[in-house]
Amino acid sequence: MSLYLPHFNLQNYNTLASPVCAEFFVSVKDEVELMAALKFAKENNLPLLFLGGGSNIVLHDDFPGLAIHIQFMGKELVREDLEHVYIKAAAGENWSDFVDYCLDEQFWGLENLSLIPGNIGAAPIQNIGAYGVELKDVFSELTALEIKSGLSITFTPEACQFGYRDSVFKNALKDQFIITSVTFKLTKSPSLKIHYPALRDALTNVSADKITPELVSQIVCDIRRSKLPDPKTIPNVGSFFKNPIVSTATLSAIQQSFPNVVAYPIDDNSVKLAAGWLIDKAGWKGFRQGAAVHEQQALVLTNPYRLSGSAVLEVAELIKASVLSTFGVELEQEPRSYP
Ligand code: FAD
Ligand code: EPU
């Protein structure tokens, strides 16, 4: 039977190391324990907070409800055809360990997504992405438990409505499902994606026959380590804002004053701007006021003194106002705030 721990400090359960408390905390390892936790919450009228690795949440105050740590474990090869393997992983498996496991087994497709923190269950929520690949590119299906009915439902790629840092679980179905497993469609022969600028640059002097998925994974890990702080030593939640999507007209207006602005084409009418570049150019790199702006990547806010998430939100507000007044661009927060 699961233990319901009262007044539980969540500092070790969020990578921002915010020292706030949940009214109750429980770890669940299977659907039976999860259903019991949902019953406990219903009977005691407690709001719910689902926790994976806690690497994409900002806890700015005590949580007046039940925090449920999803710890479903296990992975299996569910089927294969001539070209593909379908690997199912439970929600509580660590993402980065899963990527390494697939590389060891020579199941290809996840290499660009190496070293992203967090667990399998949260990965579809914002369709995690890095270095030219998103979860949707390797996704087959997922299972999720509907909170209201207790039914387990399978979601196809179409049903998930994946977008840039987005899915149906952040929109129409927000807070209605708990993801219990994800099945990935991986390839038996390598199919390398090396168009992302930083990755392409790192491979300039490597001959084509030497470029393997293992090498791509290693380079991605090296780039990440050079820019992104390790949350264990410097608490953070990765990118604090999404890269904003603006019209080509807005881009042209910005280019009048800032010809070097970094922009990626989306379609004929819109582009994605590098928010890190905007924040950097607006002069925020190295800023420190309780929370801080990371020296190597201005898109990452850090919490070196392990303060409440509210200290980080204060700095985020200053940055948003500054980017709006300098470039006329509105930034949207990427990690979700609680309560
Ligand atoms: P959590 O923070 O625990 O949860 C995130 C959200 O999902 C919360 O709303 C939570 O309630 C919900 N949730 C968690 N598990 C479940 C579940 N099983 N069912 C339903 N809801 C659930 N992200 C990228 O996309 N690309 C990157 O390159 C990247 N780099 C990062 C680098 C660093 C250093 C850090 C700290 C973060 C980075 N992130 C990146 C963000 C983060 O790693 C991802 O968003 C990750 O998927 C979060 O997983 P988690 O288990 O920690 O989620
Ligand atoms: N840049 C600067 N100064 C900075 C930061 C960035 O000039 O301080 C410039 C870089 O030189 C580069 C451009 O901005 O030209 C983009 O930078 P980078 O390649 O580091 O990527 P990003 O757009 O800042 C996004 C994701 C990351 C992901 C990387 C790699 C978002 C919000 N962030 O960052 O995801 O790892 O691309 O694909 O899309 C996360 O979501 O937490 C995350 C870390």
CATH code of the domain covering residue 333: 3.90.78.10
Q: Ramachandran region of residue 331, left (φ > 0), alpha (ψ -120 to 50) or beta?
A: beta
Cis, bond preceding 339 (omega within 30 deg of 0):
yes
Ligand 1 atom with the shortest distance to the CA of 236: 36
> What pLDDT does residue 228 have?
98
Q: Do 106 and 48 sit in the same domain of this protein?
A: no
pLDDT in tens, 269-312: 999 999 999 999 999 999 999 999 999 999 999 999 999 999 99
For residue 130 and ligand 1, the question of a CB distance below 6 A is answered with yes
Q: What is the pLDDT of residues 216-265, one digit of tens each?
A: 999 999 999 999 999 999 999 999 999 999 999 999 999 999 999 999 99
Annotated catalytic residue 146: no
Domain hosting 116: range is 75-227
Query: For position 1, what pLDDT does the model report?
Result: 76
Closest ligand to the CA of 116: 1
- Identify whether 134 is a catalytic site residue: no
Ligand 1 proximity of 235 Cβ (cutoff 6 Å): no
Residue whose CA is closest, atom 1 of ligand 1?
A: 54
Nearest-ligand number for the alpha carbon of 297: 2
Question: Does 176 lie in the same domain as 105?
Answer: yes
CA angle 215, 219, 222 (to 5 degrees): 140
Closest-CA residue, ligand 2 atom 9, reads 277
User: Is 123:131 a contact under the CB 8 Å cutoff?
Assistant: no
Would you give the distance in Å from CA 112 to the centre of its chain?
14
CB of 334 within 6 A of ligand 2: the answer is yes
Taking the centre of ligand 1 as the mean of its atom positions, its distance from the CA of residue 298, in whole angstroms, is: 19
Together in a domain, 118 and 175:
yes
- First vs last C-alpha separation in the chain: 27
* Any ligand 2 atom below 6 A from CB of 170: no
Residues in the chain where the model's pLDDT stays below 70: none
From ligand 1's centre to the CA of 122, what distance in Å?
5
180 and 112 within one domain: yes
Of the candidates 70, 92, 122, which is a domain's last residue? 70
Give the ligand whose atoms come closest to the C-alpha of residue 196. Answer: 2
> In terms of pTM, does the model score above 0.85?
yes
29 CA from centroid of ligand 2 (Å): 35
With a 6 Å cutoff on the Cβ, whether 309 touches ligand 1 is no
- Provide the domain count of the chain: 3
CB 228 within 8 A of CB 117: no
CB 302 within 8 A of CB 274: no
Same domain (yes/no): 16, 82: no
107 and 126 housed in the same domain: yes
Give the chain's mean pLDDT: 98
CA dist 104 and 31 (Å) reads 29
Q: Are 48 and 93 members of one domain?
A: no
Catalytic residue among 93, 111, 141, 334: 334
Tell me, what DSSP letter sits at residue 230?
Answer: P
**Can 336 be counted among the known catalytic residues?**
no
What span, in angstroms and rounded, lies between the C-alpha atoms of 197 and 195? 6
Both 309 and 322 in one domain: the answer is yes
Of the residues 96, 165, 217, 224, only one is catalytic, namely 165
103 and 199 together in one domain: yes
Residues whose CB falls within 8 Å of the CB of residue 155, separated by 6 or more in sequence, listed in order:
141, 142, 143, 144, 168
DSSP 243: P
Q: Whose CA is nearest to atom 25 of ligand 2?
A: 130
Q: Is 244 in the pocket of ligand 1 (CB under 6 A)?
A: no
pLDDT value, residue 89 = 99
Residue 38 sits in a domain whose CATH number is: 3.30.43.10
Q: Give the position, in ligand 1's atom list, of the atom nearest the Cα of 134.
A: 25
Q: How many Å apart are CA 122 and CA 14, to the nearest integer?
A: 13
**Among candidate residues 175, 192, 227, the one where a domain is terminated:** 227
**57 and 149, same structural domain?**
no
Which residue, 206, 227, 248, sits at the end of a domain?
Answer: 227
- 194 plus 274 within the same structural domain: no
Catalytic residue among 167, 181, 217, 239: 239
Give the model's pLDDT for residue 22.
98
Same domain, 171 and 187: yes
Could you tell me the distance, in angstroms and rounded to a whole number, from the CA of residue 231 to the centre of ligand 1?
Answer: 13
Whether the Cβ atoms of residue 280 and residue 327 lie closer than 8 Å to each other: no
Q: 168 CB contacts (<8 Å, ≥6 apart)?
A: 155, 159, 160, 161
Collect all residues with Cβ–Cβ distance below 8 Å to 18 and sequence separation of at least 6. Answer: 10, 11, 58, 59, 60, 303, 306, 307, 308, 309
Ligand nearest to the CA of 181: 1
